Amino acid sequence: MFTLTKVLGALLMPLSLVLMAGLMGTALLFTRRARLGRGAVLGALLALYLLGLEATAGLLLAPLERQYPALLEPRAQVAAPVSHIVVLGEGHRLDPRLPVTAQLNTSATARLLEGVRLRRAFPEATLVLGGGAVFGETPNSAVMHRLLRAVGLDPGAVVRLETPRNTVEEARAVAERVGGAGSERVVLVTEASHMPRAVALFRGQGLDPIPAPTHHRVREREAGAGPRFRDFLPSAEGLRMSERACHEYLGLAWAWLRGWTG
């Protein structure tokens, strides 16, 4: 089931759907349904253009990222004692020719730094690093811990969850550690767009986490910054943002269908 969800998720991403529509339309150009083929090709190109615009991607991502505010002043925003700060795993790619700072994914690094920042605000809390081994033998939590040690940010009280492969498994592992009764306050750190699904999955395990979103992709412009010509041009970043939004909406739907949310 885990492998099936990964494959289906990849096939249902916007770029995959657009490419399949374009290929089918191109094939139809050489049949009696050439008119339908032209429509499919033009539709695929239009969809690719719109999904590649950061404005379109922002409209898709904003409802996810703005659901929970960031913890800008942790001590002021969180009154209750915090027992655990949970940093969800994201991904890495090991390459012995590169430093450890280049092996974690960008989102994983942002999550980890936010976890360290919050750990300094709540020194009594235990830092929990999530993320097991998904596409290799090394758990993501081990790589995150390795980075902490390499740059001198290891807080000492660190717990690594090395078996969970996805968010629902991380939620179960954290619930087992803290008792699952919600008696201990858990701060949850993950990407802003991923936070709604992560909170729902943790609540499904009987926890009531304090959201601490990071790595926001939709950000306000600086004062005085007007429209730019490139705002009307599609980009790889815009497409990545659109795919990220679709990934999370699909993940929320799948979690609801499986009855994992609370």
Q: What does pLDDT average to over the chain?
A: 90
Q: How buried is 50 (Cβ within 10 angstroms: 0-12 exposed, 13-18 middle, 19+ buried)?
A: middle
Alpha-carbon dihedral 232, 14, 131, 177, rounded to 10 degrees: 100
Residue 118 token pair = 């919050």
**pLDDT tens for residues 42-100?**
999 999 999 999 999 999 999 999 999 999 999 999 987 899 999 999 889 889 899 99
Summarised one tens digit per residue, pLDDT across range 92-147 is 988 989 999 999 999 999 999 999 999 999 999 999 999 988 878 899 999 999 99
User: What pLDDT, on a 0 to 100 scale, did the predictor assign at position 63?
Assistant: 96
